[in-house]
Amino acid sequence: MFQNPVLVVGDVMLDRHVHGQVRRISPEAPVPVVSLLGEVQTPGGAGNVAAGLAGLGCRVTLAGLIGADAEGAQLRQVLASKGVERLALVEHSDLTTVTKTRILSDTHQQLLRLDRDGDRGRFAALDQLLLDHVLPLIDDQSAVVLADYEKGVITPRVAREIIGRCRHRGVPCVVDPKKADFSVYAKATVVTPNLIEAERAIGRALPDDEAVGRAADQLRDRLRTDAMLITRGPEGMTLSAAGDVHHVPSQTRDVADVTGAGDTVVAVLAACLGSGRPILESCRIANAAAGIAVSHPGTYVVQAAELEAAWKGLSPKILNRNAAQRRLAEARRRGRKVVFTNGCFDLLHAGHLACLEGAKRLGDLLVVGLNSDSSVQGLKGDARPVIGQSNRASLLAGLACVDVVVVFDEETPVSLIELFEPDVLVKGGDYTVDQIAGADVVLRRGGQVVALPLVPGLSTTAILDRKART
């Protein structure tokens, strides 16, 4: 969807998510006992913005300050795993890499957060060294992001010089602000405070669209920015640009976790502006991306394919096999149980629904492999399918029990099962385990294979036969 170069400068962090089961309270103190299941490490702060840009296909460069410590080395590794390979990180022995460790239950509830913050003064003292790294890079960028989390990297001097260089070179500069005084972000292309940050900056409560719109206008005029975008969570976004105010409603989705939604907005906004899209269209695309991000637990990196599908009005649950594989691998790292089933699902009916809901009850994430039109035709003859694959995929994606839909062309889904490595393989019908395609692959990995009974008298073939006789 995007291939343009984007530079991210800001407070880079390492996020650790420690997952475990909680079954009892400690006899030593009134605290839960967490039985460790695993640990996931992801880039945080400006690193998450960079990961979001990489997920969209941008050629992203990340600049910031880290310590010469184990956490700094781990951060480099997780950035590389997210596709962020162009690093302009300044590593210094006097610094401590900012690290956040979250302890999570198996129901994904956050039990505790441990922060390892660096010394803001030491970060700030290296601002000239950071500028020496960053300023020469700006000329080759389509956009620049200042990801300020008030950890000390984005000093007023750093903000002013980067924004000034961007303005001089005609490079869009997107700012995610955390400072109480927004004046340091003056003349940026767009500043993106959330509602609380905007209320603090303007000095009053903003209870409705009209109040937020006036505040966006005032902040834009005061800072002499091209635009001001106030993100408002479930109320969507409010954009002030070129003398007009636009309210962009939020995308209606089940909210699983709002963590990182602001990073997603900033990343998509920069990618869009860097590719020449108008500011209002860029905000609407960023809004769609935020809707995808919050529908996933934890910090989620929105991929180009699912954003493109959502922007076209398609369900973000419909993924190609590579995007699905990345999502499932991340889910397993977070301790989630993946269930896979497959079928043609031509003329979706109550029997299909019973099977899919039964499959979902066996795990946390249900993936449906859907036979393509050519695959169905090969299995059932030239008269099938009755419903085309894009419509069948959309119907499946509309079911609450289905989390991912992947279309495949082969006669059987074995290649998908090998790629996805599900914990549970489910098939509806009177099958024995040895008759279920891919069962050997799942059992070899220690997984489970389940055959669910069909609803009597309900099948697409039976429905079509009855229709033909009438």
Q: What residues are designated binding site for ATP?
A: 194-197
What is the CA angle 48-54-59, rounded to 5?
Answer: 125
Strand partners, 22: 34
Which of 12, 24, 13, 29 is CA-nearest to residue 63? 12
Of 11, 15, 127, 263, which residue is the catalytic one? 263
Do the Cβ atoms of 101 and 18 come closer than 8 Å? yes
H or E segment and range at residue 166: helix 156-169
Q: Which tokens is 1 given?
A: 């969807």
Structure tokens that stand for 352 in this block: 């299909």
- Rounded Cα distance between 174 and 212, Å, is 20
Q: DSSP 3-state helix, strand, coil percentages of the chain (rounded to 5)?
A: 40, 25, 35
**Which residues are within 8 A (CB) of 353 and not within 5 positions of it... i.e. 6 or more apart?**
399
Beta bridge partners of 8: 62, 145
27, two tokens: 């006899």
CA dihedral 414, 415, 421, 426 (to 10 degrees): -30
Place of tokens 């009134």: 30
Please, which contacts does 454-462 make with residues 24 or more away whose CB atoms are closer than 8 Å? 454/351, 454/355, 454/428, 454/429, 454/430, 455/350, 455/351, 455/354, 458/349, 458/350, 458/351, 459/349, 459/351, 460/344, 460/346, 460/347, 460/349, 460/386
- DSSP 8-state assignment for residue 318: B
Catalytic residue at 263? yes
Amino acid, res. 335: G
* 190 and 269 Cβ atoms separated by less than 8 Å: yes
The residue among 154, 79, 80 whose CA lies nearest residue 120 is 154
Positions marked catalytic: 263
